């Protein structure tokens, strides 16, 4: 298969013909020309938006371990095969089968008011009729942790700490623990149930869900997220120490024996097929919206980047492996993906990066170690400068939840997207296709294809330290 434009094909053949290019060491000038041509083709229009449109329209939400997630994996296999990828297959693994139930919350005193709430994934359930109890409200998570064991017995704990808006999402990273571990910590202190202000930068009354976790042997208590305006309403009502009382109904269920699916596909390398550049996003989503920005967009962006490389007149030297992970939202995909790959196999992975931050453009790329100072870093900086984007001089601190378990053996990179408004939508019913701008998503594809192609068709070694 070839590119649609004669100019792009000419740029890709310009060095000295396909046979000669395959036999020789990488030519930096040709690599640079190819990366620029791929970038420009992405900007003209890529496969990303059609992939995302069809995934969110034909399948919709894709809750981990659900039948909809399995349908999404089967859909992806058919789509990737039709796009010309090789070695397309599904890797299944066990997960908790958690399903959302009824969700209602109501303030009983000092006044009767409905509150918008949603269950947190992996949380327990109230009785069908719900529970009614006094509220122990804390304005910060640290205040709740300061309470002694047993001091919150019989109470519904509510934490209302607000999240800070930040381009790089660091506001979320600093508070995610209060959602992920808050219910277990509240249970240790005797809480009957736990509610957290949504990890959101929106003023919408739609609550934002997400996973919570309990240590082995601890029975999960009911736990949920309040919408931002409802959390702020409780803050105001609690001024002066006024007692609050609430009725809560959350009835999720667990189904034993559930499995999730990761879909894997390759663009097989022409010279070093055992050396792998791993990219991808996660295919599962929460069930409130249709998982457009989290993370249908990431799956679509990396698929489109790999497709552009697959359509080149000749394959890159190394294999580009695309992974569309299952069960990222409940933190199972990464350990499962790494577990079936020995340390020896992982040592053949040149670099790995995950796209899981929406559909906005990439503004910076952080590389492993001192790679920014190598010739690869210089080529990548030149390729992405027109987007505009830059290569971060600081090393990558991680590359995504699904590839983090590979970190001991695999260098990780991070392509940083603009997340200024990401958490307005993330994990909520507003996560739908209409929030995605196709042209801005193609800018993300342009950065991803430059990064991936240069890693796959050059001889860069991300483990080698660059000179200072």
238: domain CATH number is 3.50.30.30
Residue 464 placed within a domain: no
SS3 223: strand
Answer yes or no: do 105 and 77 share one domain. Answer: no
* Residue 2 confidence (pLDDT): 37
Exposed/middle/buried for residue 352 (C-beta within 10 Å: 0-12, 13-18, 19+): buried
Is residue 122 left, alpha or beta, with left meaning phi > 0 and alpha meaning psi from -120 to 50? left
Answer yes or no: do 55 and 170 share one domain. Answer: no
Answer yes or no: do 146 and 160 share one domain. Answer: yes
The rounded distance, in Å, linking the Cα atoms of 225 and 123 is 11
Residue 463 placed within a domain: no
pLDDT at 152 over 90: yes
pLDDT at 153 over 90: yes
Across residues 189-217, what is the average pLDDT? 97
Which of 253, 273, 295 is the last residue before a domain boundary? Answer: 253
Mean pLDDT across the chain, nearest whole number? Answer: 94
Across residues 350-372, what is the average pLDDT? 97
The proportion of the chain whose per-residue pLDDT surpasses 90, expressed as a percent, equals: 92
Q: What CATH number is associated with residue 390? A: 3.40.630.10
* Residue 463 confidence (pLDDT): 86
Across residues 157-175, what is the average pLDDT? 96
> What are the strands of the beta sheet with 86-94, ordered from one edge?
86-94, 259-267, 318-325, 272-282, 349-354
* Residue 468 confidence (pLDDT): 52
- Assess whether the previous peptide bond of 295 is cis (omega < 30° from 0): yes
Residue 216 lies in domain = 99-253
Answer yes or no: do 294 and 347 share one domain. Answer: yes
Range with the poorest average pLDDT among 21-25, 192-196, 200-204: 21-25
The rounded distance, in Å, linking the Cα atoms of 27 and 14 is 11
Answer yes or no: do 226 and 265 share one domain. Answer: no
Return all residues near 359 (Cβ < 8 A) that are at least 6 apart.
Answer: 52, 292, 293, 297, 300, 301, 435, 436, 437, 440, 441, 444
The rounded distance, in Å, linking the Cα atoms of 168 and 127 is 40
* Residue 20 confidence (pLDDT): 41
* Residue 26 confidence (pLDDT): 87
Across residues 233-242, what is the average pLDDT? 95
Residue 4 DSSP label: S
Answer yes or no: do 151 and 21 share one domain. Answer: no
Residue 468 placed within a domain: no
328 is an active site residue:
yes
What total of structural domains would you count in the chain? 2
pLDDT by residue (tens digit) across 436-458?
A: 999 999 999 999 999 999 999 99
Answer yes or no: do 291 and 345 share one domain. Answer: yes
Answer yes or no: do 305 and 371 share one domain. Answer: yes
Residue 466 placed within a domain: no
Answer yes or no: do 382 and 269 share one domain. Answer: yes
Answer yes or no: do 282 and 223 share one domain. Answer: no
Residue 1 placed within a domain: no
Answer yes or no: do 155 and 178 share one domain. Answer: yes
pLDDT by residue (tens digit) across 413-423?
A: 999 999 999 99
Residue 360 placed within a domain: yes
Residue 416 placed within a domain: yes
* Residue 424 confidence (pLDDT): 98
Which of 211, 228, 253 is the last residue before a domain boundary? Answer: 253
Residue 420: both structure tokens together: 């200024």
* Residue 360 confidence (pLDDT): 98
Answer yes or no: do 67 and 108 share one domain. Answer: no
pLDDT by residue (tens digit) across 321-359?
A: 999 999 999 999 999 999 999 999 999 999 999 999 999
Residue 110 placed within a domain: yes
Which of 202, 234, 253 is the last residue before a domain boundary? Answer: 253
* Residue 16 confidence (pLDDT): 36
* Residue 402 confidence (pLDDT): 97
The rounded distance, in Å, linking the Cα atoms of 29 and 156 is 64
pLDDT by residue (tens digit) across 282-333?
A: 999 999 999 999 999 999 999 999 999 999 999 999 999 999 999 999 999 9
Question: What is the pLDDT confidence band of residue 465, given thresholds at 50, 70 and 90?
Answer: low
Question: What is the pLDDT confidence band of residue 464, given thresholds at 50, 70 and 90?
Answer: confident
- Catalytic residue, chosen from 185, 187, 328, 360, is 328
* Residue 25 confidence (pLDDT): 79
Sign of CA pseudo-dihedral 425, 437, 316, 75? positive
pTM over 0.85: yes
The rounded distance, in Å, linking the Cα atoms of 320 and 405 is 19
pLDDT at 119 over 80: yes
């Amino acid at each position: 298969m070839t590119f649609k434009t004669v100019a792009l094909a000419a740029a890709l053949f310009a060095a000295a013909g396909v046979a000669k290019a395959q036999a020789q060491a990488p030519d930096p000038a040709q690599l640079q020309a190819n990366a620029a041509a791929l970038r420009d083709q992405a900007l003209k229009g890529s496969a990303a938006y059609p992939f995302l449109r069809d995934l969110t329209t034909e399948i919709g939400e894709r809750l981990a371990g659900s039948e909809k997630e399995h349908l999404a994996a089967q859909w992806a296999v058919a789509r990737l095969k039709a796009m010309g990828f090789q070695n397309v297959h599904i890797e299944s693994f066990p997960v908790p089968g958690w399903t959302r139930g009824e969700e209602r919350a109501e303030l009983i005193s000092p006044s009767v008011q409905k509150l918008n709430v949603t269950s947190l994934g992996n949380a327990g359930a109230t009785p069908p009729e719900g529970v009614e109890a006094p509220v122990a409200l804390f304005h910060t998570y640290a205040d709740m942790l300061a309470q002694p064991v047993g001091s919150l017995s019989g109470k519904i704990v509510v934490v209302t700490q607000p999240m800070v808006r930040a381009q790089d999402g660091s506001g979320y990273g600093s508070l995610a623990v209060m959602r992920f571990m808050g219910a277990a910590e509240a249970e240790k202190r005797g809480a009957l149930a736990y509610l957290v202000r949504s990890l959101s930068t929106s003023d919408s009354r739609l609550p934002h869900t997400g996973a919570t976790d309990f240590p082995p042997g601890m029975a999960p208590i009911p736990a949920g997220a309040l919408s931002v305006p409802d959390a702020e309403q409780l803050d105001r009502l609690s001024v002066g120490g006024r007692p609050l009382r609430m009725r809560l109904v959350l009835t999720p269920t667990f189904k034993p024996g559930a499995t999730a699916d990761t879909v894997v596909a390759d663009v097989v390398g022409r010279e070093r097929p055992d050396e792998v550049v791993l990219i991808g996003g996660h295919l599962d989503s929460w069930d409130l919206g249709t998982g457009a920005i989290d993370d249908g967009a990431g799956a679509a962006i990396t698929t489109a980047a790999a497709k552009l490389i697959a359509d080149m007149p000749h394959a890159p030297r190394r294999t580009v492996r695309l992974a569309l992970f299952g069960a990222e939202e409940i933190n199972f995909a990464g350990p499962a993906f790494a577990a079936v790959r020995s340390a020896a196999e992982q040592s053949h992975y040149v670099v790995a990066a995950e796209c899981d931050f929406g559909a906005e453009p990439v503004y910076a790329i952080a590389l492993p170690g001192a790679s920014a100072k190598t010739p690869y870093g210089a080529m990548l900086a030149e390729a992405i400068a027109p987007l505009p984007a830059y290569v971060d001089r600081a090393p990558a601190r991680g590359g995504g939840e699904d590839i983090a378990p590979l970190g001991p053996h695999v260098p990780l990179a991070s392509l940083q997207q603009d997340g200024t408004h990401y958490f307005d939508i993330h994990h909520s019913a507003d996560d739908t296709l209409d929030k995605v701008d196709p042209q801005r998503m193609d800018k993300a594809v342009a950065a991803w294809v430059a990064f991936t192609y240069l890693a796959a068709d050059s001889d860069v070694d991300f483990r080698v330290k660059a000179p200072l």
